Amino acid sequence: MITIDGIVFSLQGHGGISVYFHTLLDYLKRQRVPATLTMETPARQAVGEGGEGMSVIRRRARWLERYRTCRVPPATSVFHSSYYRRPDGGGFPTVVTVHDFIYERFSSGPRRWVHGTQKAAAIQAAQAIVCVSESTRQDLLEFIGVRSEQSIHVIHNGVSDIFRPLELPPSAASYVLYVGQRAGYKNFPLALNALTFLPGFELYCVGGGALHSRELAGVPASVAGRVRHVGLVDDETLNTLYNQAACLVYPSTYEGFGIPVVEAMRAGCPVVSVACRAVVEVGRDALTIAEDPDPRVLADAILKTVSADRPSLVKRGLAVAREYSWDRTHAQTLAVYRSLADWS
């Protein structure tokens, strides 16, 4: 029996890791794989009651639960934590999925030490390590390393089938779309300042919390007036925004994968990025890359997406995006479980 530690559902109300494990649980149910989900309450996300071979164990969270070992049912044959925890028992293999090394690259002090220590311990204790990109695998080797008896599997993330081209009437809006957090390595000021050279465009921001005045400090009023925060939207609304955008601008200098890049391509929305290693790995030749992190260079790359090249960019994006699906991701993950537990 596979045991999934659902601690992430107690830690975040939404997020990429939660999507990863929600879709994994759904896949295991549909495949009728014997599995148990352990849930610490109170949780910040709703999780179903199981079924189709899956049971759910709910118990009250202990003090500092996220940093403690997970209480595991005795029938466990493979253990997979949703957020870098180890099991409280032994005698069975463990799997850990590594999404990125943001804390290791960009944090310092107690925050980095606490997170990094728990993460490194979980990785070092695992028999199998799943990395969501080759870029993340390289970071793993740089920051932690692996033992000869551990197996490493690069298994790309998927995206929802909700993201697709729509037959919509022409939109009167001319906007560039920005999705996600905006601080630090996300490099939002680069996208913001590119608006100086894009007088006919607005910048729509999705997610990432409210847009604060300090983020627009020093930006000309002619630019600040063309920035709109759409808020946190559901996937259907986001798909429509992708469909009507001139492009997705993704100036982040670091990612473990970059799910919005694939979402946009699946929706027929061209993607403009900087030369971020993981994003280039995922988007490949469908990307329009601003080779220099300069607002004018980024603006020129954005203008390319509304030129005569747009149909070919959309076509390449759709072709690349077809390779990413959650079913493919989790079929490969299930193969890892089976290799460890030696069951079919």
Q: What is the DSSP string of 114-132?
A: HHHHHHHHHHHH-SEEEES
pLDDT score, position 112: 85
Confidence grade of residue 310 (pLDDT, cut at 50, 70, 90):
confident
Answering whether pTM is above 0.75, one says: yes
Instruction: Say which DSSP state 35 is in.
Output: E
**Percentage above 90 pLDDT, the chain:** 78
Q: What is the C-alpha to C-alpha distance for residues 269 and 281, in angstroms, rounded to an integer?
A: 18
Shared fold status for 2-158+325-341 and 175-321: yes
Q: Where are the alpha helices (DSSP H) in 41-106?
A: 102-106
Look at residue 188 and tell me whether its pLDDT is greater than 90: yes
What local confidence, expressed as pLDDT, does residue 111 receive?
A: 81
**Residue corresponding to tokens 């993330």:** 157
Residue 196's pLDDT band (boundaries 50, 70, 90)? very high
The angle subtended at Cα 122 by Cα 324 and Cα 127, nearest 5°, is 70
φ/ψ (deg, to 5) at 73:
-60, 145
Mean pLDDT on 191-204 = 95
DSSP element (H, E) containing 287: strand 287-290
Residue with structure tokens 């490949």? Answer: 284
pLDDT of residue 343: 58
pLDDT greater than 90 at residue 53: no
Omega cis (within 30) before 42: yes
Residues 302-313 have a mean pLDDT of 87
Cα(126)–Cα(148) distance, rounded to whole angstroms? 12
Considering the chain, what percentage of its residues have pLDDT values greater than 70? Answer: 97
d(CA 226, CA 83): 39
Mean pLDDT of 299-320: 91
pLDDT per residue as tens digits for the range 210-254: 999 898 888 889 899 999 999 999 999 999 999 999 999 999 999
The CATH class of 175-321 is: alpha beta
Task: Determine the length of the chain.
Answer: 344
Q: Contact 121/85 with Cβ under 8 angstroms?
A: no
Q: Domain residue spans in the chain?
A: 2-158+325-341, 175-321
Assess whether pLDDT exceeds 80 at residue 170: no
For residue 272, give the 3-state DSSP assignment: strand
Task: Quickly state the pLDDT bin for 117 (edges 50, 70, 90).
Answer: very high
Pairing of strands 2-5, 78-81: parallel
Whether the per-residue pLDDT at 118 is higher than 90: the answer is: yes
Beta-bridged to residue 55, according to DSSP, are: 36
Task: Kindly provide the b/e burial profile for residues 310-330, where b requires at least 16 CB atoms within 10 angstroms of the residue's own CB.
Answer: eeebbebbbebbeebbbeebb
pLDDT digits 0-9 by tens, 153-163: 999 999 999 99
| pLDDT value for 65 | 93
Query: Does residue 344 register a pLDDT over 60?
Result: no
Angle, helices 259-266/310-321, rounded to nearest 10 degrees? 120
What are the CA-CA distances from residue 301 to residues 87, 188, 253, 260, 271 (Å)? 48, 16, 16, 18, 10
Q: Are strands 175-179 and 202-206 parallel, antiparallel or unpaired?
A: parallel
3-state secondary structure of 96: strand
Q: Is residue 51 helix, strand or coil?
A: strand
Give the pLDDT confidence of 316-337 residue by residue, as tens digits: 999 999 999 999 999 999 999 9
Q: Is 244 helix (H, G, I), strand (E, B) or coil?
A: helix
What CATH number is given for 2-158+325-341 in this structure? 3.40.50.2000
Note the pLDDT of residue 171.
Answer: 65
pLDDT the model gives residue 51: 73
Judge whether residue 256 has pLDDT over 80: yes
Q: Categorise residue 284: left if φ over 0, alpha if ψ from -120 to 50, beta otherwise.
A: left
What are the phi and psi torsion angles at 204 (to 5°)? -95, 125
- Measured distance CA(231)–CA(207) in Å, rounded: 5
pLDDT of residue 47: 79
pLDDT of amino acid 230: 94
